[in-house]
Chains A and B, each alone.
Chain A
């Protein structure tokens, strides 16, 4: 391609430059950005992250400049090369697991080793006996074997009881036969399986003497360690291109009566006695639910920072982008207005900015609760070595068991927070106007890669049933007169005790009342649902929509509660300056009031807020908060501390050089511009000439 002409190189963006605009934004807020970053990430993590970033940026294999242009094959090939390099660097620099994760996040694409690192190793660690850990976990840690976790099937997702793959016990030679009886039994969506893994942890229905014992985990070798070809009677491959996640080889897997030894069924919680051929249960698998709960708490916390990436890009760009003149501008004041001054841009972005903090503090609160739970389980001496099988979360005693409370909480919050993040990212993309549609915005691919979170670890809609089931149980225990023993039963009892008096919350004057109004509405919906189910005997299926709303209401309450507690009782007052603390309170009110106003009819119906209050929240309070937060918007997103290399976005650059970067990527990094075409339909020639790019770096 012809080099860029000089007259083009000399052009500057018109009007005030992006860098000046962002500098002015930063000048008008006295938020101490570094302190805010430390509050969110801690000093230690920031330092480690910066060191890792320096290492990654110096390795050519991590160069991102062609990511947006490549096809599926190239994306995957490159991702594998990057994963390999990360392992090399891990040894070289002695990275911890956390540091490796930080590096992976900075690379910013799902890699083919991901499920080996997470699910494969974790499952063996948690569900394998010491002997199994010796045999499988050790080589896995050394990457002598590379594994994945094969649960989901072509015809079955969230419902493990519906899995079709079978593992039949053969008493004569003490083996299991793993088999796929139907096409729908094919393992599907399994990350790292398509091209990478040579081992799999396979969930299959255990059959002994014709009797089913439910799904159990088996370690199965799927590929030869040398040739990397599938083993006999195993059919495995990649499932093809997806909406996002194209750097990952999600795979399918079918078994044609494959035998594995007795040793390969993970046996910490259950095993088969090879002598008697009897099924033996041992220990409590409730710890597994603990892992799931931990995974979900992580999703909640991550949702905050995932969303923050989109909000950072959109906020910076909307501060630089100018459009239309202010209709009310005095005649002397010409020029277009930064779109961030428009309330209709603010109403889309600032509540999301508030949500990033709300989710962050909620995730933190859950982690805390999880750790409390772990302490309690370990302290009680029960748990893993218990002789009787522990109850699943649905069967535990509601109202007294922290595990149940945490499990229910994590389901609902996972559903709410990942939906907020996914939908929020799309809102951010659209708030960037036309340029948001360009890959260079950096939001589209980020959104596409995040989307599976909305459906995995339990579909966001399906999960809400578990929350509702738990809340109904809690409500029944409250009705039966049991004393409140945790947060959920406390708010339900409180609601119950005031049923004859009602409430009068000062939602616009008191933050505490605002939290109470959320509790009130959630409790109201709980007892309404209970009435439908227990008194009116409505079918469970007919109530699913009510349950979804109930779960959402309860989770929104938890977000408001956690955000409030973090600001009220945490150490924040000491960790950040007064301005920042004050702005965080405003973000709390904005999130709470904006949510309340969106869900106004439920607050009204429950009596938690009057029509007048909702109307005032909408027209006054929220508008006032937008105005007060607006000057701090750019500093607040700076507080998330995203490196430009990580954002990989023209629109979200820290220095505001939006247009220079868009132009640079389009004209100099874009391989399509090396092509000269023959555009006339009657000629069959398509590309007359294909030249390499005149590549230069910014």
Chain B
């Protein structure tokens, strides 16, 4: 359709503005992109896969936000299937496939099949089980999901209600849901898609067995009449067929379905599932680490019981990597925060509002022009620290990647020692990083004013989809207890042996504190010449983490305060500890050869990012740093002025720094965040030409029950749908 609007131009030329921004900074973008995104040829792969997806109409995102929930699932399944067919047609490897999922940018109904389902079987299945299941999984002959959380139970696996009762006579397990709250709930891909599920259930064995029962839940009076004959052995994993291969209807004794609409994740069929005494063979229990003995009917355990939770640690690891970005397994499902920051920085460079009160025109604008909102400190203070945070999360991601692989090797050699440290670092970082990213997306969205609320921001779906992260796999508040418990234990050990040598970085942190606390004065982050002392910044973060750990130790171990009353303190401890990891690893990365070898001014701009991230965090939690004597009152006085100064240094590079994250327009799907700055043209295009609501004319007179003008049905069709 053509009309007079075709010839209208925006008053400000967004393309010219972004061009000017880019030429005002000499940062080498390609080099920085490669530095950040070279693992597994990320950039090349992105280009290759994008080229294919772009051509397929099915992956066009224009109408997504207008669709209803059932339509979104329909589309989600169509795309998931199409991607599998593309994998075959294009001969894509697994990394290519992951890239396609990342670019497709919605939760695939197959997602759990290729993550938790396959990983659990690989890690917890015996060699025989692996041999029997793996080919069918990889061929998508069966489609799996992972059924752990229940309607009444989330993070606490010990509280799960689903039972797996061993029948020694028939040599079968009976899977059963004794209550409504035992219903599996939230399990991705289970609602409509999966044919098989890994079911996490409490193993019950007849009392005559000779193995030691689990001590946690032995005599629960609320259990059914069989309590006297059966003893619980804690949660185990079972592979269960839940739908018929042909008809795709639920198997006998299973009630399974989708749990309904959510805040986001519209394309994914999160499910519920109940069992009515469903029988599965002995081979259904994944038995690499535990098995019911053929002879005695007793439970034989191999290795460390914590491995049963290994899968969960794995998923947590992945989520942190989503939040920042580099994940060892799904390299692509990340960069979320960088995406939000990219949109916000570009749009705030193009958007203008109000004239400068002092009348000093900033660079490249006519005197009577409104100011680029990115020049407002109130906008900078919201966006630039998040821009800095994308780099902080990146380098911590690298650190976690290494820690994970190191620990994994040790664990595979049979030493479960590093598990506690890995678990606590991953829990703490998961909690902090997902919170930074989720809040950061929302902050970016709001910093864009009214248009941030519109579908054209590209952050509407991103925000909604990402917001599940702070609560899945252990509420962000709940899991911080595990970090704190670990640190209290470590502190207790260190207090007893202050003088002995340190075993690991955490001990070093704690012992430095214990040795230094008698004559401590907080270091100043300002060097004698007024410049910022980066090492002092790290010291300040270290000191706060250690001081809070020691305070928690005192409260819990010395004063024996109730755990529940300490939870807030423990939560703050976990965050302080994780922040110290973020700041220290960022600082360390700055001195690494991979950064120092970058051409100028990249290393110094990265240093500015580091400073902004650290100083802004200091300012956000000033009370906490002050109360632990980590920072001096005089440093506090100059803190805000320093932040303003550092933001001023970063501002000219902002547009190029987000360019370095190389998020393609196709993925951003954002009018506001377009690479070329044609913000207003695109917003208008979406509203005017791509909006189905504009194809309907309504009858707005309240006296008439007809809703669509000329339909003549008096609103009956609508009522029928209610």
Contact = CB atoms under 8 A, between A and B. Distances in A.
Contact of B69 (A324, A454, A659, A672): A672
A336 to B, nearest CB: 5
A155 B690 CA distance: 20
A142 to B, nearest CB: 10
A686 interface: yes
Contacts of A228: 697-700, 709
B471 interface: yes
A678 B684 contact: no
A239 B382 CA distance: 27
A153 B263 CA distance: 29
A548 interface: yes
Nearest to B4: A256
Given A434-B186, A434-B472, A238 B691 contact: yes
Contacts of B65: 72, 240-241
Interface stretch (B117-125, B187-195, B231-239, B331-339): B187-195
A342 interface: yes
Contact of A242 (B454, B626, B707): B454
A583 interface: no
A240 B471 contact: no
8 contacts: A11-B183, A66-B722, A157-B353, A182-B11, A439-B263, A666-B258, A675-B73, A679-B195
Interface stretch (A78-86, A98-106, A131-139, A502-510): A78-86
A614 B718 contact: no
Interface in B686-703: 686-688, 690-694, 696-703
B478 interface: yes
Contacts of A539: 358, 360
Contact of B257 (A155, A436, A462, A670): A670
Contacts of B67: 71-72
A336 B159 contact: yes
Contacts of B149: 434
A244 B450 CA distance: 12
B647 to A, nearest CB: 9
Contacts of A71: 66-69, 71
B381 A545 contact: yes
B297 interface: no
A58 to B, nearest CB: 14
B255 interface: yes
B68 A681 contact: no
B78 A436 contact: no
Interface string A55-80: 00000110101101111111011101
B194 A679 contact: yes
Interface string A1-40: 1101101100111110000000000000000000000000
A432 B186 CA distance: 14
A78 B468 CA distance: 29
Given A81-B707, A238-B694, A541-B358, A444 B263 contact: yes
Nearest to B447: A461
Closest 3 CB pairs of A and B: A71-B68, A600-B623, A681-B84
Contacts, number: 463
B722 A323 contact: no
Contacts of A70: 68-69
A430 B471 contact: yes
Nearest to B681: A183
Given A81-B707, A228-B699, A437-B471, A676 B66 contact: no
Given A83-B702, A162-B354, A540-B358, A455 B4 contact: no
A159 B702 contact: no
Nearest to A66: B722
A681 to B, nearest CB: 3
Interface in B143-192: 143, 149, 151-156, 159, 161, 177-183, 185-186, 191-192
A103 to B, nearest CB: 14
A215 to B, nearest CB: 14
Interface string A546-570: 1110000000000000000000000
Given A438-B259, A456-B450, A541 B357 contact: yes
A229 B699 CA distance: 11
A677 interface: yes
Contacts of B85: 681-682
B700 A198 contact: yes
A194 B697 CA distance: 10
B673 interface: no
B397 interface: no
Interface stretch (A266-274, A343-351, A355-363): A343-351
A452 to B, nearest CB: 6
A498 interface: no
B260 A666 contact: yes
Interface in A307-358: 321-324, 326-328, 334-337, 341-345, 347-348
B68 A439 contact: no
Contacts of B181: 13-15, 659
Contacts of B718: 61, 77-78, 81
Contact of B460 (A8, A243, A461, A601): A243
B262 A254 contact: no
B719 interface: yes
Contacts of A337: 564
A72 B195 contact: no
Contact of B477 (A162, A341, A344, A669): A344
Given A162-B354, A659-B181, A541 B700 contact: no
Interface stretch (A184-192, A378-386, A395-403, A474-482): A184-192
A669 B70 CA distance: 12
B470 A430 contact: yes
B140 to A, nearest CB: 5
B353 A158 contact: yes
B260 A344 contact: no
Interface in B198-248: 217, 220, 222, 247-248
A615 B627 CA distance: 7
Given A146-B700, A323-B159, A433 B454 contact: no
A52 interface: no
Interface stretch (B286-294, B302-310, B369-377): B369-377
B712 interface: no
A228 B377 CA distance: 46
Nearest to B195: A679
A11 B565 contact: no
A195 interface: yes
A511 B276 CA distance: 59
A239 to B, nearest CB: 4
A363 to B, nearest CB: 23
Contacts of A541: 356-358, 371, 375-377
Contacts of A671: 69-70
Contacts of B378: 461-462, 464, 544-545, 547-548
A429 B533 CA distance: 40
A455 B680 contact: no
Contact of B262 (A87, A252, A437, A598): A437
B81 interface: yes
Given A196-B698, A672-B69, 5 more contacts: A11-B182, A14-B161, A71-B66, A240-B693, A670-B260
A84 B472 CA distance: 41
A681 B140 contact: yes
Contact of B637 (A7, A72, A180, A605): A605
Contacts of A239: 454, 683, 687, 691
A432 B571 CA distance: 17
Nearest to B189: A679
Nearest to B69: A69
Contact of A328 (B110, B358, B562, B688): B562
B353 A688 contact: no
Most chain B beta carbons < 10 A, residue from A185, A239, A459, A676: A239
A675 B371 CA distance: 53
Interface in A202-232: 227-229
Nearest to B261: A439
Most chain B beta carbons < 10 A, residue from A243, A345, A665: A243
